[in-house]
A and B are shown apart, each in its own frame.
Chain A
Amino acid sequence: MFLRLLKLEWKSFFRSASFGKGISVKILLGFMGLYFFLVFLSLGVGLYPLMQKIYPQVEPILVVNNFLLLWFLGEFVLRFMLQNLPVLDIKPLLTKRIQRSQIIHHILFKTSYSFYNILTASVALPFVVGYLNRDSFSATGLIAWLLAVISIVYAVNYFNFWVQKRFSNNLKALIPFIVICSVLIGLEYFKIYSVSTLFGRFFDSILQYPLLALIPFGLALCSYRVTFRDLKTNLYLDAYLVQGQVVQRASDLSWTNRFGALAPFLQLDLKLIWRNKRAKTAVTMCMVFLAYGLFFYGNPTYDGSGMLIFVGVFMTGIFVINFGQFIPAWDSAYFPLFNTRPITMSNYLESKALLMYGSVLLLTLLSTPYVYFGWDKVYVNFACAMYNMGVNIPVILFFGAYNRKRIDLSHSSMFNYQGIGIAQWLVGIPLIFGPIIIWFSTRALINHNTANLVLIGLGIVGLLLRKIILQALAKLYKEKRYAMLEGFKQKD
C-alpha cells in the first residue's frame, strides 16, 4: 500500500499539467536548491576554523552549541512561513479502501525527505566528520551529538505542522507562546538568564554522555506522534480539510467614485489586491523593496552610476513591475464576463494605469526619507518615477496584450511561477535597462542634470500622450482577445 501511494506521488509529479511547460522553472529551482545545499555544506566544512577564529579560547563545538537554539528557532520561523503540509492532496484517498492512519503516515513520511530537513544536516554532518579526525571528543559522543541535532530538526519539522494546523485559524492562541518567547529573549538580551546557554549545555553533555541523545530522539518521536494524532482526529472536511472561508470585511471604497466610469474597475482592483493571497503578496513585496536603497546609497562606489537609476526605477516602480506584469491575467478567472458585458477596453486599461500611477506616487513619497543620503538621490528617484509613469506603465500594458497565462488567485506568490510566460521575462529588460541606457548615454554625452531631465521629459511626454497610447493599447487588446480567452481557460 505504501508503495502504491508513493507511485501516486510519482505520477502526480510527472503528469502535472505544468510539468512540461514549467521544466525550465523547475531546473532553475533545482539549481537554487543545489546552490543553498552547497552553501550550507561549505558552512559545515568551514564552521570549525570560523569558530576558532572568532572565539579562539573555546572549543568550537561548544560555541556552536550555544547558537543551536537560535538556529532551530530561525529554522522553525522559516518553516512556519514557507513549508506547508499538503493535506488537501489526500482528500480523494479518504473514501478509498485505505486505512486512515496509513494515509497520515504517508503524508508525514513524505515531509521527512523535504529539502528543509537536509539543510541543517548538510551543515552538521561535515562539521562532525571534521571533528572525528580530532581527538577532542569520542566518536560515540560526536555521533550521538549528530543524532541529537537531526532529531531536533525532525521534531521541528513535525512540530511546525502541528502548530500550523492548530493555530492557522486561531492566531490569538499563539499569543502566550509569543509572550514566553519574548520574555526569554528579553532575559537573554539583558543577560539575566540565558536559555540558549542552557540548551547549549545540554548538547555539551551529550558529547560526554552519549545516551542523553535519546532525549531529543524521543522528542522527535513524540512530535511525530502528536502531529499524527492531531491529524487523525481532524482529518475531516469540516476540520483541517476545510478550504479557508474568509468572512468578508466591509470596505467602503466610495472615495473612488470621483473617477467616474473608472470607479467600478478601481474598486474591483482594490478588492482583488486585498482579498487574494497572490495579489496581496505582490503588494507586500513593494514595502520590502522600498528598503532597496539602503544597500546602494551608503556605498560611495555607486555614487552617480547607472545603479542609481536601477534602484530608482525599482523602488518607485516595483508595484508597476509586480502587479503590472500580470495585467490582464489578474482578471483571468472571469475574463469571459468582461468580454460579454459593456466594458470598454480603454476604461479597463485606464483604471489599471490609474492604480499604477497612484502606486508610483505613493512609493515615491515613501522613498523621500532617502534625502538623508543627499538631495541628488531624491532627484534621481523623482526622475525615475516620472519615467515609470509616462513610459514604463504603457510598456508593461503593451506586454500584457501578449499575456496568455491564467493565474489562480488563491495561491501565494512565494516561489509560485504560475502565470509566468516568456512575455514576463522579456518585460523586465526594457523596463529597467531602457532608462539606464538612456540616462547613462545622456550623462556621458552631456551631464548628470540633463540626464535626469531627459527621463523626466520622457515621462511627461508619455503622460501627455496617455489617452492616445491607451486607445492604441485598447485596440491591440481587443484584437488579441480570443487568444487571451483561450489561454485563460487553461488551468494548470
Chain B
Amino acid sequence: MISIHNITKHYNGVQVLHIDNLEIKKGERVGLVGNNGAGKTTLFSLMLDLIQADTGEISINGVKVQESENWKYFTGSFLDESFLIGYLTPEEYFYFIGDLYGMSKVDVDGFIAQFAAFFNGEILGRNKYIRDLSKGNQKKVGIVGALIGNPELLILDEPFANLDPSSQFRLKDLIRQLMNESGMTILISSHDLSHTVEISDRIIALEKGKIVKDLTTSPETLEELTAFFAV
C-alpha cells in the first residue's frame, strides 16, 4: 500500500527524518510511537504531500504522491485543526467533504449516523461552529471527516489526545470495527503506548527521525516499548 524509499528531510540544516526503507502492506494497522520531535508528524505530512522531502520518494498504491493526486481519492486523513473549517457547523463540514466524494446530503447523513455514540450527543444538531467546539469535540469531527468517502487508507495524528476516557474507548472500538469490516489500512501516531499497542498489529518507533523499532504486536510488545522509552 505504502512504500517509502530513502526519505530524508532537513530543517535549518538539522536532519529531522531519515527512513531508508519502509513498506506498509494493505490492511495493516500501524501504530507510530515516539517522543516529541521524533518525526511522526513530519512523516505523515510527507505521505500526504504537504511538505517536500529533500531526497527519496513515497508511493501510495504504486503512485508517487508528489506526482499524482490519485491517492486523495482513497486516503482519509486528520492531522490537526488545519483540516477543519472553523466557520462551518460539523454537519456543514461533513456535507462539504461528502460533496467532494460525490455523496449527497442524505448519503452523508446516513454515514455519520453510525457515529452517534462516538459523538455522544455533543456534535450534531448543536448549532455551533466548529471553531467554538472544545478541542476534544473538534478532534471527533476531524476523525469522522477523515472517514467520509470510505478511504482505503486512514492516517490519524494523535487521535487519542484531548479525547475524554469514554471517547478513547469508543475510538478504539471504532478502529477495530473499521478494520474488520472494510480491511482499511490504518496509520496512527500516538504518545500513548498502551492505546497504540491495543489497536495495532505493527508498531514502529521513531527516534530523532529514524526507525528504531519495527515490531509485530505480541503480548510482550508493551513491555518492550515501555522499557525502551523509560528513563
Contacts and interface: CB of A to CB of B under 8 A. Distances in A.
Nearest to B132: A245
Interface string A329-344: 0000111110111110
Contact of B52 (A276, A409, A410, A482): A482
B69 interface: yes
B77 interface: yes
22 contacts: A245-B128, A247-B128, A248-B128, A267-B96, A271-B92, A272-B87, A333-B86, A336-B79, A339-B48, A339-B49, A339-B50, A340-B48, A340-B49, A341-B100, A342-B72, A343-B72, A409-B86, A409-B87, A410-B131, A482-B50, A485-B50, A485-B51
Contact of A275 (B49, B79, B129): B129
B87 A337 contact: no
A486 B49 CA distance: 12
Nearest to A244: B132
B69 A342 contact: yes
A486 B84 contact: no
A23 interface: no
Contacts of A340: 48-50, 72, 75, 77, 83
A32 to B, nearest CB: 31
B85 interface: yes
Interface string B51-73: 11000000000000000010011
A272 B131 CA distance: 13
B226 to A, nearest CB: 33
B50 A264 contact: no
Contacts of B97: 341
Q: Is the contact region of chain A dominated by helix, strand, or loop, or is it mixed?
A: helix
A248 B89 contact: yes
Interface string B82-122: 11111111001000110111000000000000000000000
B180 interface: no
Interface in A339-354: 339-343
B50 A343 contact: no
A164 to B, nearest CB: 21
A246 interface: yes
Q: Say which size band chain A's interface belongs to.
A: 20 to 34
Contacts of A245: 128-129, 132
A93 interface: no
A275 B92 CA distance: 13
Closest 9 pairs (CB-CB, A-B): A264-B99, A275-B87, A342-B72, A245-B132, A337-B83, A336-B82, A340-B48, A334-B85, A482-B52
Interface string B13-44: 00000000000000000000000000000000
A263 interface: yes
A17 interface: no
B166 interface: no
A268 interface: yes
Given A334-B86, A337-B82, A342-B72, A264 B52 contact: no
A333 B128 contact: no
A340 B73 CA distance: 9
Contacts of A334: 82-86
A91 B75 CA distance: 40
Contacts of B99: 263-264
Contacts of A343: 72, 100
A245 B89 CA distance: 12
A268 B72 CA distance: 20
B127 interface: yes
B51 A276 contact: no
B82 A335 contact: yes
B48 to A, nearest CB: 5
A342 B101 contact: yes
A248 to B, nearest CB: 5
Given A335-B82, A339-B50, 4 more contacts: A275-B129, A334-B85, A336-B50, A482-B50
A90 B133 CA distance: 23
Contacts of A276: 87
B87 A271 contact: yes
Given A246-B129, A341-B72, A342-B72, A264 B84 contact: no
Contacts of A489: 82
A248 B129 contact: yes
A337 B88 CA distance: 14
Contacts of B86: 333-334, 409
B89 to A, nearest CB: 5
Interface in B127-183: 127-129, 131-132
A25 B69 CA distance: 39
A205 B12 CA distance: 71
Nearest to A482: B52
Nearest to A342: B72
Contacts of B132: 245-246
Contacts of B49: 339-340
Interface in A185-221: none
A268 B96 contact: yes
B96 A264 contact: yes
A486 B51 contact: yes
Contacts of A410: 131
A263 B80 CA distance: 26
Contacts of A263: 99
A127 B144 CA distance: 67
Contacts of A485: 50-51
Contacts of A409: 86-87
A379 to B, nearest CB: 40
Contacts of A246: 129, 132
Interface in A260-296: 263-264, 267-268, 271-272, 275-276
B127 A264 contact: no
Scoring B87, B128, B129 by chain A CB atoms within 10 A of each residue's CB, the highest score goes to B87
Scoring A246, A248, A267, A409 by chain B CB atoms within 10 A of each residue's CB, the highest score goes to A248
Contacts of B96: 264, 267-268
Contacts of B82: 333-337, 489
A312 B59 CA distance: 52
Scoring B69, B82, B99 by chain A CB atoms within 10 A of each residue's CB, the highest score goes to B82
A337 B86 CA distance: 12
